[in-house]
Amino acid sequence: MFSLPLRDDAELRPLETWHAEEFAAHLDRAREHIRPWVGQGFVTTGLEGARGTLVRYGERRAADGGGLFGIWRKGTLVGGVMFTGFDAAGGTCELGCWLEPAAEGHGLVTGACEVLLDWALVERGLHRAEWLCRAGNDRSAAVAERLGMTLEGVRREVWPYDGVRHDQQLWAVLAREWRDRRADTTR
């Protein structure tokens, strides 16, 4: 199907309902790694749970309110990026991401997020893209920083996990900042 090349023999493609079996198998490799850091509704078990996530994102995409994109490396689904929220009228969106452990450390998510930010902030003309991560998620914060986002603040004790309420960082980049950054990197 449609795909965009990323570095390191990887591709970015829409992740859709028909990928449910592949997505379920990938979650078996990723589940414990991502569990502390992503929304708990995303950490499903089995085929029906995986299908439910894909259907939910498909419905959001149809309503122009989100979208899910998988990263395949050497033909295997290893993670992905998403618009957890997309508000064209309000001019804002929120990005999210995950990888199974073996796919970390290759710049795949940073490259995939650049594609999403180009589309949202340049092609679709949104004003601002946000990134929310649990405080202490250093790899996620490093992606936001690598994308040129600014740490705007901390939402205190908003993230319940394992009986503790954790802080959450809010990072964001504005469209003009993103365009300037892209112009600098292609110069």
Q: How far apart are CA 48 and CA 24, in angstroms?
A: 9
Q: Which of 37, 42, 57, 171 binds ligand COA (CB under 6 A)?
A: 37
Q: How far apart are CA 93 and CA 88, in angstroms?
A: 8
Residues of this chain, 13-32, that bind ligand COA according to CB under 6 A? none
**Interaction between residue 128 and ligand COA (CB under 6 A):** no
Per DSSP, helices labelled H in the chain are 20-34, 46-62, 108-117, 138-146, 175-186
* Distance set, CA 68 to CA 23, 27, 48, 90, 165 (Å): 12, 15, 17, 20, 27
Q: Which of 12, 15, 108, 172 binds ligand COA (CB under 6 A)?
A: 108
Least distance (Å) between residue 125 CB and ligand COA: 25
Least distance (Å) between residue 131 CB and ligand COA: 7
Chain residues in the site for ligand COA (CB under 6 A) = 7, 33-34, 37-38, 96-99, 104-110, 133, 137, 139-140, 142-143
